[in-house]
Chains A and B, each alone.
Chain A
Amino acid sequence: MIYEVTIAEKTYRVELQRVATGWKCALDGRDLPLDVTAAQDGVLSLLLDGKSYEIKQEGTGNETSIVIGHERFSAAVRDPRSFRSRRRTGAAEQGVKRITAPMPGKVVRLLVPVGSPVEAGQSVIVIEAMKMQNELKAPKKGVVKKITVTEGAAVEAGQSLAEVE
């Protein structure tokens, strides 16, 4: 198996091969004498050159956070042979991106009208949940193509609120 893992804008090529004793691993073409075992579900114990690492994973899917001690790494994992995976990354840069509600709540304010240009990270919608207000930001630079909620509307977790193209 080959994976491309991007951490802090640097992409690593990781080759993994299941062998009788566990995994054979190469990083960017270099063999790593790795001893790895799943200590428990979601936790890896990794030994490399006598050093021991306890590694935990936050979240699943293609975007995950890897926790080693108190260090945290956001990692994007891709299988370059997967057609789906390639198409998905393509869609990230072009096309339409949605702003979705991270949790159930109420729309307090719409900050940007439909049709206006937004910068990546610009606040578009304010929602309130658990007595706290949260600004939902544009996932990319573009134009607000659609807003599917009105101020005061109750929204569900994962509900699409707006689209930026």
Chain B
Amino acid sequence: MFSKVLIANRGEIAVRVIRACREMSVASVAVFSEVDRAALHVSKADEAYPIGPAAARESYLNAAKILDVARRSGAEAIHPGYGFLSENAQFARACAEAGIKFIGPPAAAMELMGSKTRARAAMQAAGVPMVPGSARGLTLAEAEAMADKIGFPVMVKAAAGGGGKGMRLVRAAGELKAAFETAQSEALRAFNDGEIYLEKFIENPRHIEIQVFGDEHGNVVYLGERECSVQRRHQKVIEEAPSAIVDEDMRQRMGAVAVQAAKSAGYTNAGTVEFLVDSARNFYFLEMNTRLQVEHPVTEMVTGLDLVQLQLRIAAGEKLPFKQEELTLRGHAIECRIYAEDPENNFFPSPGKITKLLRPSGPGVREDSGVYEGWTVPLDYDPMLSKLIVHAADRPSAIARMKRALDEYFVGGIKSNLPLFRRILEHPDFAAARIDTGFLDRLLAAKPEVGASGNGLSEIAAVSAALFAATAPKKNGNNGARPEPTKDAELSNWKRTARSEGVGGE
């Protein structure tokens, strides 16, 4: 096992990896940008080093700086988390050249899966079921011919695209030209790569993915599925394991395909094969994510495994410590991704100071968080605050447990998407597991029933509002409006004093 691991990330995932390291007696090295000095991952790690300004490309995406810290601190391996450098094959190569183990798949497998068209071709050759469509860059004329062949609706996609960028739905032949050109120019601008392909559009699919794990001795297993159909703008919002529509037979078939996909790509370590599932429960390869997923905890809850520890063991050269047939799934797990964003204002990011944080606990509740009360969520990064995960015997009890945990959860000072989750969990379609990737958009388009205030709670609320006003600290006659505008000024004064007194000991 490694004696020291650097975590090239921030937020909850950096804390998650640090925790795994601590449990394995592996020293952890954190890196942080200028705005993250007070971030949770910095104080939780054994060592921490600054890597530059807030802008990610100058800090968390700066491979040279991170490798330099790894060398100087004596880290033997780098865990990239998710996002940032986690799917950057060049970085994986640079680690290898520096003699530092990249905790993830080989660079060649990352490159293959990173190109959607190459991945498609390779997966097709490996016999993985695919959505009908083209497997290579198309001209407009070729796209028109292809659309004719597979039939509308079709999806126009940029080969280098991701996160919903460079994607256009086309329902009729007349719309194809415009969609093709927009997708291409968007892809050129965002990814500097205008390669376009075309796919049959599956109406209202489910998003179900298989977690795979490979060691460096040729063994690959699958750890069951996760259903991530509750999405907004192609971003997952709620994930669960297992999926309500996947039975053991389907799980084995999907698992076998995912293992085949991983093997044919020479894949090792943690990976996820994403599938679209249509209403007849046919599944089609979507893409492979060559990293630990945000939603890995739901798999951990139902398998009883620690995926991050497993990643470290495999990267250190150990064999998978179990066989496929030894794995069993137990109970049901659900995860909510809690973001600093305002569900009443188009989910606009709402960074700022967390003035109050009440966290849920009790049976079957887990929170993977990257924040604390009093911390100011910086506006420079993804505004995810934490992941709330529950585990219970079955899906209905997991939903009940999640509702209970959400009631206990409170974030003050900034807006969060907490109120959204109850709307989802209480929706009859969610309770009946009638979900697909359009479910959340439909739910949001329907206006929420305006707060039925007949239960006397609004009177309690009115009294409480007055009590809060009566007990609020007086603010020098500015009538309680807009507190604490002087924080930055105070901070810089403090810094100035510290500098003039030569504090800092360098």
Contact = CB atoms under 8 A, between A and B. Distances in A.
A151 to B, nearest CB: 17
B469 A104 contact: no
Contacts of A153: none
Q: Which of B346, B413, B463, B468 has the most CB of A within 10 A?
A: B463
Interface string A82-108: 101100100000000000001110000
A68 B461 contact: yes
A106 to B, nearest CB: 12
B422 interface: yes
B331 interface: no
A127 to B, nearest CB: 9
B469 to A, nearest CB: 5
A56 B466 contact: no
A119 interface: no
Contacts of A70: 403, 406-407, 419, 422
Contact of B467 (A16, A58, A103, A132): A16
Contacts of A46: 460, 463-464, 467
B457 A8 contact: no
Contact of B458 (A10, A32, A57, A67): A10
Contact of A73 (B345, B346, B461): B461
Interface string B340-353: 00000111111100
B463 A7 contact: no
B348 A132 contact: yes
Contact of A1 (B451, B470, B479): B470
Given A58-B412, A62-B481, A134-B346, A7 B458 contact: yes
Nearest to A69: B407
B461 A23 contact: no
B494 interface: no
Contact of B463 (A32, A88, A135): A32
Given A68-B457, A68-B461, A75-B462, A36 B351 contact: no
A136 B271 CA distance: 40
A150 interface: no
Contact of A130 (B383, B466, B469, B470): B383
B379 A103 contact: yes
B500 interface: no
Given A8-B453, A130-B349, A27 B463 contact: yes
Interface string A38-73: 100111101010000101111111101011111111
Nearest to A63: B481
B467 A44 contact: yes
A46 B410 CA distance: 17
A135 B346 contact: yes
Contacts of A55: 460-461, 464
A158 B193 CA distance: 38
Contacts of B465: 3, 5, 7, 14, 57, 64, 66, 73, 75, 77
Contacts of B479: 62, 82, 84-85, 88
Nearest to A10: B458
B350 to A, nearest CB: 7
A104 B350 CA distance: 11
B480 interface: yes
Interface residues of A, number: 55
Interface in B471-491: 471-472, 479-483
A71 B463 contact: no
Given A62-B480, A84-B479, A129 B470 contact: no
A56 B358 contact: yes
A80 to B, nearest CB: 12
A114 interface: no
B34 interface: no
Nearest to A25: B463
A16 B470 contact: yes
B429 interface: no
B355 interface: yes
Nearest to A76: B465
Contacts of A66: 461, 464-465, 468
A143 interface: no
A8 B161 CA distance: 44
Nearest to A2: B466
A25 B345 CA distance: 35
B217 interface: no
Contacts of A102: 345, 348, 350
Given A16-B470, A70-B422, A102-B348, A27 B462 contact: yes
B356 A44 contact: no
B481 A129 contact: no
B148 interface: no
Interface in B300-358: 345-351, 355-356, 358
A3 B470 contact: yes
Contacts of A56: 356, 358, 410, 412
Nearest to B471: A38
B68 interface: no
Contacts of A130: 349, 351, 379, 382-383
Q: Which of B347, B450, B462 has the most CB of A within 10 A?
A: B462
A149 interface: no
B491 to A, nearest CB: 16
Interface of A: 1, 3, 5, 7-8, 10, 12, 14, 16, 23, 25, 27, 32, 34, 36, 38, 41-44, 46, 48, 53, 55-62, 64, 66-73, 75, 77, 79, 82, 84-85, 88, 102-104, 129-130, 132, 134-135
23 contacts: A3-B469, A7-B461, A8-B450, A12-B459, A14-B466, A16-B466, A44-B468, A53-B464, A62-B479, A68-B464, A70-B403, A70-B407, A72-B419, A73-B451, A77-B469, A88-B479, A102-B348, A103-B351, A104-B379, A129-B348, A130-B379, A130-B382, A134-B345
By Cβ-Cβ distance, the 7 closest A-B pairs, closest first, are A14-B466, A75-B465, A73-B461, A12-B462, A3-B466, A130-B349, A5-B462
